[in-house]
Amino acid sequence: MISRLKIDFVSDISCPWCVIGLRSLERALERVSDETTADIHFQPFELNPQMPSEGQDIAEHIAQKYGSTLEQVVRNQEGIRARGAALGFTFNMDKRSRVYNTFDAHRLLHWADLEGRQHALQRALFAAYFTESLDPSNREVLIDVATQAGLDPVRAQEILESGLYADEVREREQFYGQKGIHAVPSVIVNDKYLIQGGQPVEIFEQALRKIAAESRGPSV
């Protein structure tokens, strides 16, 4: 019997480890497809909710927030680039120079979930920021990315201009914050099991097989 899992993937557009975590999770789900399927819902988390509209230089931002030196930043970026390449994702670290506000992107993701296109939009947003070095706070960029994900560009523009779904996004952010989620990616399975960080495919696979078996219960 194939079990069906509910997965809440708490993440931010500007989080490279969220890209790695999602890619690893997707590959793990392919490996366990004989045992389980999953409904994935992307939940909002802002690493930098106070980030101004113009963004901030990424090296300056990391130095201020984490105390990292330029050499440490370059070393960490190379590690992320290699992990992404192994999972089929291209991080163009040399092109990405700024960190931006992601609140509007999360509003579009909330809408995309209602339209059944959330997973496609999440992947497209990651590619736009980390591969193409586009500004995910720019509304023209967001409309283009939404269109690529199969969403209506006219409706996307209406949502962005109206402030629609802002309250829903903030409510979700507060909900997960109150549940103790203070780092991403955080992968919550069946509202019960938590897997944190950009884990390797094998870790996700082991966890999913165990959870799937437990969800099926004892055999009769």
Nearest one of 74, 93, 71 to 19, comparing CA atoms: 93
Burial of 122 (0-12, 13-18, 19+ CB in 10 A): buried
CA 73 remoteness from chain centre: 21
Which of 143, 161, 159, 140 is CA-nearest to residue 151? 143
Q: What is the chain's pLDDT, residue by residue, as a tens digit (220 residues)?
A: 789 999 999 999 999 999 999 999 999 999 999 999 999 999 999 999 999 988 999 989 988 988 988 899 889 999 999 999 999 999 998 888 899 999 999 999 999 999 999 999 999 999 999 999 999 999 999 999 999 999 999 999 999 999 999 999 999 999 999 999 999 999 999 999 999 999 999 999 999 999 999 987 654 3
